[in-house]
């Protein structure tokens, strides 16, 4: 059973939003802290914590607002359908994979940095594209509801274009990496029905004691 866990009667999705809000506000009020938690590919190997900390920051209040709204709708939809454990695993790993893609693109540029939960949220979008393909959502910059499967296709194309022709300061490669991992995670969940998390996939394997 895919359980929804609550702390103080709040779901994991809401707690993620709260943590992102607190970290983002602190970071925006203290640029030194923001630089400490942001993901700078050139320095990532010497500051490995940024693979995770950068997921919980924001570059501006508008950035915080849009990420918060996207996480609220996509996160709750995923969590109440597939459980809190799967949401947390998907969110964190999508963010990390997104940062790895960003690292490959900008590893040699010390001036480029990124911050935000967009890659992690893109992972949730990708997973829902496999698991709930006909669910209707609105995706920026579109303003009409479309099937999640089409939203995922649009998001992938949008970010592929952005990687080669960066028309706005977005982490296009991070978004793409998060989305691709989400597609993989969604495929795994769909294939292994009844599993509550990715670590349960090997339940039926023979145990070997070392």
CATH topology of domain 6-194: Rhomboid-like fold (1.20.1540)
The span from the CA of 188 to the CA of 185, in Å, is: 5
Q: Answer yes or no: are the C-beta atoms of 107 and 41 closer than 8 Å.
A: yes
Task: Provide the Cα torsion 9, 15, 19, 21; round to 10°.
Answer: -90
Q: Where are the domains of the chain?
A: 6-194
154 has pLDDT over 60? yes
pLDDT tens digit string along 174-197? Answer: 999 999 999 999 999 998 874 544
pLDDT score recorded for residue 1: 54
Residue whose structure tokens are 């960003």: 102
DSSP string, 59-128: SSHHHHHHHHHHHHHHHHHHHHHH-HHHHHHHHHHHHHHHHHHHHHHHTT-TT--B-SSHHHHHHHHHHH
pLDDT tens digit string along 11-23? Answer: 999 999 999 999 9
Return the bridge partners of 7, or none.
Answer: 10
The span from the CA of 149 to the CA of 160, in Å, is: 17
Please give the mean pLDDT across all residues of the chain. 88
CB neighbours of residue 68 within 10 Å = 20
The span from the CA of 11 to the CA of 183, in Å, is: 23
Q: Answer yes or no: are the C-beta atoms of 27 and 100 closer than 8 Å.
A: no
pLDDT tens digit string along 54-69? Answer: 999 998 999 999 999 9
Q: What is the mean pLDDT of residues 90-116?
A: 93
What tokens does 46 get? Answer: 């010497």
């Amino acid at each position: 059973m895919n359980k929804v866990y609550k702390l103080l009667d709040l779901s994991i999705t809401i707690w993620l939003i709260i943590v992102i809000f607190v970290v983002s506000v602190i970071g925006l009020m203290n640029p030194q802290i923001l630089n400490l938690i942001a993901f700078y590919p050139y320095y990532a190997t010497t500051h490995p914590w940024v693979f995770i900390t950068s997921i919980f920051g924001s570059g501006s209040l508008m950035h915080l607002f849009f990420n918060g709204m996207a996480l609220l709708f996509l996160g709750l939809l995923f969590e109440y359908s597939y459980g809190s454990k799967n949401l947390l695993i998907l969110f964190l790993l999508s963010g990390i994979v997104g940062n790895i893609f960003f690292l490959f693109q900008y590893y040699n540029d010390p001036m480029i940095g990124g911050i935000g939960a967009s890659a992690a949220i893109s992972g949730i979008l990708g997973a829902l594209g496999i698991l709930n393909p006909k669910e209707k959502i609105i995706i920026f910059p579109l303003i009409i509801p479309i099937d999640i499967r089409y939203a995922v296709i649009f998001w992938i194309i949008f970010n592929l274009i952005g990687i080669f022709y960066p028309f706005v300061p977005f982490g296009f490669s991070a978004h793409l990496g998060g989305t691709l991992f989400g597609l993989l995670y969604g495929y795994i969940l769909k294939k292994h029905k009844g599993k509550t998390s990715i670590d349960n996939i090997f339940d039926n394997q023979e145990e070997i004691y070392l």
